[in-house]
Amino acid sequence: MGKSINNNYHKKLVIGLFGFGVVGEGLYKALQQTSSLNATIKKVCIKHPGKKRNAPEELFTTDKDVLLNDEEINVIVEVINESEPAFEIVSTALLNGKHVVSASKKMIAEHLPQLLQLQKKTGKSFLCEAAACASIPVIRNLEEYYDNDLLHSLKAIVNGSTNFILTKMFEEDLDFKDALLLAQQLGFAESDPSLDVDGWDAINKWIILLAHAYGIVEYPTNVVFNGIQNIQLSDAVVAKEKHYDIKLVAQAKKLLNGKVAAFVLPQFVKHDEPLSFVKNEYNGVVIESSFADKQFFYGKGAGSFPTASAVLSDIGALRYNYHYEYKKLYHHIVPELATDFYIKAYVSFDDWKFIPKEKFEWIEEWHAEEERKYLIGVIAFSELKINNWWKENNTSLILSPEPIIEDVEIRKLKKKSLELAGV
């Protein structure tokens, strides 16, 4: 009986690693401690040969072809920062018959259609759990566990740097600049923080998760997003008065018309909501599905070992020839991305002249006496897609806790208000 065990389990994985920064070195150390994986790094390709590294010198090369053309190497792990070189490495590796594990969210988000084609053409696995929420196994759960028709909504905090900054603004009353400086000193934000702070990192991760959740394949700039660059200490004060936190929330929700509303924007979060508990550099994902209500995933969203743990998990899965099937994309009717709905939002600003008041369906609250003014109102989502006034001139837009209002609901509310007015 003992002989019939699947040999795949003993499949030896020989790895070519691109990048030996925080994640690459974390993976190297982690692999040394997990001998059961039967995986070894044969070569590491690096950009700067002169740097001192905690690994034998003969492991390193600056020539990518040494890894890509080595027939013994059957897995390429790619954890570099630059999008275009990463795509070139990944596509060459797949075409050369190698499986690929990647952590490059920007590269994946910008090249998703091509990557899907390459996977179809080559039949090789391309796994990227580390590219979204680091240590949280969210991609594989969306792939395997949640059927399209059962998935109502996803809400997530996917960027640790911005979450760290917002946490400090709330808990230590720091203004944005000081909180950002602290994040940089602690290594949670890059010296050029705009990728994180302006929301680019979050939207790149969200593009990947939308493909696995709903089969929606979109380019990052086609989805409405913003970061936290305009959030003021005065916004945090208003949030506290209303017993809310402010988080940068990526979200997607299936609407009654079958379309999916998706965006990444700052949002007020009630204190009893799971995402309110996600502080500092942690990430969190809340999935709502039919019959299961809410499920909450929580873990470190950045850092050497948390990210390496996701890479390790993908490497381990390759022993069983695991690959993403993209069932929602290939076996379901893919829902359209919706723009025909409304959102309820808080908008703070310095001067009324920058705010197109007439664009709001209605305004529920406004405060105009202080130097920093704000209103809370309902506006068509398409207005955010078409125009940029809401992120210019120091304007800060923060969504309400349940921001999505569907067309049907708006019509009902209008009808009701007309009746009340006796019209």
213 pLDDT higher than 60: yes
Tens digit of each residue's pLDDT (9 = 90 or more) over 283-340: 999 999 988 889 999 999 888 888 999 999 999 999 989 999 999 999 889 999 999 9
Mean pLDDT of all residues belonging to the chain:
92
What's the pLDDT at 148? 64
Tens digit of each residue's pLDDT (9 = 90 or more) over 223-251: 999 999 999 999 999 999 999 999 999 99
180 pLDDT higher than 70: yes
**Which stretch of 57-71, 123-137, 138-152, 248-262 has the lowest confidence by average pLDDT?**
138-152
Six token digits for residue 255: 């609407």
4 pLDDT higher than 50: no
Q: Is 1 helix (H, G, I), strand (E, B) or coil?
A: coil
> Distance between CA 235 and CA 238 in Å, rounded?
5
- Cα 202 to Cα 72, 79, 197, 379, distances in angstroms: 36, 18, 9, 24
Hey, which residues are catalytic here? 205
CATH, range 2-131: 3.40.50.720
> Distance between CA 261 and CA 403 in Å, rounded?
11
Q: Quote the percentage of the chain above a pLDDT of 70.
A: 97
Nearest CA-CA partner of 183 in 299, 302, 266: 302
339 within 8 A of 367, measured Cβ to Cβ? no
What's the pLDDT at 3? 41
Tell me, what DSSP letter sits at residue 274?
G
What average pLDDT does range 83-101 have in this prediction? 97
CATH, range 341-420: 3.30.70
Tens digit of each residue's pLDDT (9 = 90 or more) over 352-411: 999 999 999 999 999 987 789 999 999 999 999 999 999 999 999 999 999 999 987 888
Cα-Cα-Cα-Cα torsion 362, 364, 370, 373, nearest 10 degrees, comes to -40
What's the pLDDT at 423? 55
Structural domain boundaries in the chain: 2-131, 341-420
